[in-house]
C-alpha cells in the first residue's frame, strides 16, 4: 500500500466479498492535473494529499442474464457476447430459410413439370384410344397370298384369329404371324395392315426335298431340317434318305442336318444337271478339260452328252448315307446301286453318264440287270460294274 492513501473498511470488505454495492473513492483529477502541469513543489503537495472519506456508496447495476429453457439461468456472461450470439443465430435462421425456400421452389417446379407430362400422356392415350376405336379403322377385308393345298386359306384364317369388324389398329401383327408360322408347312409369315381397313397375310411355304427315315418317315426341307411326319399322300414321288438313326440325330443334330443337306444337293445335281454345270463336265468341257479321257469314243461322248442334255437319267428311289463309305444312289427300276463315295462328285457323275449311255445302247435289259457301279474306287479309267445276270 502506498503511503498517503487509506482504504476504508467498507472498500476492503467489498473487494473481498464481491458485494454489488462497492464504495469507490473519487480520484482527484484536478490534483493529478496539477501534478502534471505545475512546478515540482506544488506537484508533491498534490500527490501526497490525503483522500476525502466517502460518505455514500455508489451502486452499479449489473444486467441479469436472461433465463433459458425451463427457467434455467445460464452463467453470467458479458452482454456483448450475448448480442453477438443473437445476431449469428438470426443470420443462420435467415440463411436456412432462404435454402429451404429454394428447395421448395425447385420441388414445386418439378411437381408442375411431372404433372404436365402425366397430363399430356393421359390426353395422348385418350386420343389414341379414340382413333383405335373409330369405326373408320374397322377390319373389312383379309387378303392371304399365296395359298396351296398344304396350307389352305381356311387354315391360315383359323390360326390368324382376326374377326371382320374388329379394330385394325389393335391387331398384334407379330402375334398373328407367330401363330401362322407354327404350322409345319409354313416356313415364314408376314402380317401387315393396309389402311384404312385391310389385313394382308403373306405366307412362305416349305418345300419338301426328300423323305428321311429317322425312327419314322419325316419330310425334309431344302435346309436338311425334318419338319413333319410324312403321310402317304405327302411322300408320293420323293426320294428317301437313309442311314441316320434317331439316336444319332438326337446326339448330333447339326452334323445330321449337314449330311442331309449335302444329300439333297447331290440329289438336285443328279436330277438337274443343267442347273449344276460344275457337276456335269460333258455339257461344259471348257470348265473341266482335264476330265475328258484320251481314249473316250466320240460317239460314246456324244451319246452321253445327249442323254444328259435331255435329262435322261434313271429315277432314284433312295440315297443312303454311310459314315465310312459315303453316299450311295439306289435306282428306282431294278434297285441298282451307284456308289459315289464322299467326294469328287463332278467326275463320278460324268463317268456315270458314260456308263449309262453304253448300257442304253447295249442289249435290252442291261440297265435293269445293273446291280452295283463302283465309282468310289481310286481308278479313273476303270470302273467295276456288277450285274444280276450275264448281259448278252
Structure confidence by residue, pLDDT tens digits, 341-366? 988 888 888 888 888 888 888 788 78
Residue 391: closest CA among 358, 369, 361? 369
Q: What's the CATH code of the domain at 332?
A: 3.40.50.11690
Query: What is the Cβ-side half-sphere exposure of residue 344, based on CA atoms within 13 angstroms?
Result: 15
**Span 99-122, mean pLDDT?**
90
Q: Enumerate helices (H) and strands (E) in the chain, giving the number of each.
A: 10, 12
pLDDT of the residue at 195: 87
229 and 193 inside one domain: no
Lowest mean pLDDT across 98-112, 113-127, 304-318: 304-318
Backbone φ, ψ for residue 279 (5° rounding):
-100, 0
Task: 61-69: list long-range contacts, CB under 8 Å, 24+ apart.
Answer: 62/20
Tell whether 36 is covered by a domain: no
Q: How many domains would you assign to the chain?
A: 2
Last residue of a domain, one of 182, 205, 228: 205
Q: Are residues 380 and 321 in the same domain?
A: yes
Last residue within a domain, chosen from 164, 190, 205: 205
Point out the least confidently predicted range of 66-75, 251-260, 314-323. 66-75
Indicate whether 356 belongs to any domain. Answer: yes
Residues 348 and 318 in one domain: yes
CATH number assigned to the domain comprising residue 152:
3.10.20.310
337 in a domain, yes or no?
A: yes
Residue 336 burial by Cβ neighbours in a 10 Å radius (0-12, 13-18, 19+): buried
Give the number of C-alpha atoms closer than 13 A to the C-alpha of residue 39, restricted to the C-beta side.
1
Task: Kindly state whether residues 238 and 373 are assigned to the same domain.
Answer: yes
Q: Are residues 185 and 220 in the same domain?
A: no
Instruction: Answer yes or no: is pLDDT of 57 > 50.
Output: yes
- pLDDT, average across residues 129-153: 83
Select the more confidently predicted residue: 389 or 384.
384
Between 55 and 321, whose confidence is greater? 321
Q: Name the most confidently modeled range: 15-24, 120-129, 286-295.
A: 120-129
Q: Which domain holds residue 151?
A: 137-205
The verdict on residue 161 lying in a domain is yes
**DSSP line for 120-177:** HHHHHHHHHHHHHT-GGGB--EEEEE---SSS-HHHHHHHHT--TTSBSTT--HHHHH
For residue 386, name the pLDDT band (cuts at 50, 70, 90): confident
Are residues 258 and 353 part of one domain? yes
Tens of pLDDT, residues 264-292: 999 998 988 766 555 444 444 443 444 34
Within-domain flag for 192: yes
What confidence score (pLDDT) does residue 45 get?
52
Residue at a domain's end among 189, 205, 221: 205
Task: Give yes or no for residue 322 having a pLDDT over 50.
Answer: yes
pLDDT, mean of residues 280-307? 39
The whole-angstrom separation of Cα 86 and Cα 71 is 19
Max Cα separation, the chain?
181
| Statement to judge: residues 146 and 242 lie in one domain | no
Q: Are residues 157 and 301 in the same domain?
A: no
Question: Is the pLDDT confidence value at 338 over 60?
Answer: yes
Residue with the larger pLDDT of the pair 166 and 81: 166
Q: Is residue 68 domain-resident?
A: no
Residues 176 and 266 placed together within one structural domain of the fold: no
Residues making up the chain, counted from first to last: 392
Average pLDDT over residues 314-332: 92
Asked whether residue 198 falls in the same domain as residue 225, the answer is no
Domain-located, residue 241: yes
Of 101-110, 174-183, 246-255, 357-366, which range is least confident? Answer: 357-366
Task: Assess whether 230 and 275 both reside in one domain.
Answer: yes
Based on the domain organization, do 247 and 325 belong to the same domain?
A: yes
Cα–chain-centroid distance for residue 133? 33
Amino acid at each position: 500500500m502506498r503511503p498517503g492513501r487509506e482504504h476504508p473498511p467498507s472498500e476492503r470488505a467489498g473487494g473481498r466479498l464481491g458485494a454489488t454495492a462497492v464504495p469507490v473513492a473519487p480520484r482527484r483529477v484536478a490534483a493529478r492535473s496539477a501534478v502534471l502541469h505545475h512546478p515540482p513543489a506544488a506537484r508533491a503537495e498534490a500527490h501526497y494529499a490525503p483522500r476525502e472519506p466517502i460518505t455514500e456508496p455508489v451502486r452499479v447495476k449489473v444486467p441479469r442474464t436472461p433465463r433459458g429453457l425451463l427457467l434455467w439461468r445460464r452463467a453470467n456472461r458479458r452482454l456483448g457476447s450475448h448480442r453477438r450470439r443473437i445476431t449469428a443465430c438470426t443470420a443462420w435462421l435467415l440463411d436456412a430459410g432462404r435454402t429451404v425456400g429454394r428447395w421448395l421452389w425447385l420441388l414445386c417446379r418439378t411437381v408442375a413439370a411431372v404433372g404436365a407430362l402425366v397430363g399430356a400422356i393421359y390426353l395422348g392415350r385418350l386420343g389414341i384410344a379414340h382413333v383405335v376405336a373409330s369405326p373408320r379403322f374397322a377390319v373389312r377385308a383379309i387378303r392371304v397370298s399365296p395359298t396351296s393345298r398344304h396350307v389352305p386359306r381356311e387354315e391360315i384364317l383359323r390360326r390368324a384369329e382376326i374377326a371382320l369388324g374388329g379394330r385394325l389398329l389393335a391387331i398384334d401383327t407379330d402375334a398373328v404371324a407367330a401363330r401362322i408360322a407354327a404350322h409345319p408347312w409354313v416356313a415364314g409369315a408376314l402380317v401387315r395392315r393396309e389402311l384404312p381397313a385391310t389385313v394382308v397375310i403373306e405366307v412362305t411355304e416349305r418345300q419338301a426335298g426328300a423323305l428321311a427315315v429317322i425312327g419314322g418317315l419325316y419330310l425334309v426341307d431344302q435346309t436338311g431340317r425334318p419338319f413333319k411326319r410324312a403321310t402317304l399322300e405327302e411322300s408320293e414321288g420323293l426320294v428317301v434318305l437313309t442311314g441316320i438313326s434317331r439316336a444319332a440325330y438326337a446326339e448330333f443334330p447339326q452334323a445330321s442336318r449337314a449330311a442331309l443337306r449335302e444329300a439333297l444337293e447331290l440329289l438336285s445335281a443328279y436330277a438337274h444337271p443343267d442347273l449344276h454345270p460344275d457337276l456335269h463336265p460333258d455339257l461344259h468341257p471348257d470348265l473341266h478339260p482335264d476330265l475328258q479321257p484320251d481314249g473316250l469314243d466320240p460317239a460314246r461322248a456324244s451319246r452321253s452328252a445327249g442323254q444328259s442334255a435331255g435329262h435322261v437319267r434313271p429315277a432314284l428311289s433312295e440315297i443312303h448315307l454311310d459314315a465310312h463309305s459315303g453316299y450311295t444312289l439306289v435306282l428306282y427300276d431294278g434297285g441298282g446301286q451307284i456308289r459315289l463315295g464322299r467326294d469328287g462328285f463332278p467326275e463320278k457323275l460324268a463317268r456315270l453318264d458314260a456308263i449309262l449311255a453304253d448300257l442304253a445302247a447295249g442289249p435290252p435289259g442291261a440297265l435293269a440287270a445293273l446291280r452295283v457301279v463302283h465309282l468310289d474306287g481310286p481308278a479313273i479309267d476303270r470302273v467295276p460294274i456288277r450285274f444280276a445276270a450275264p448281259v448278252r
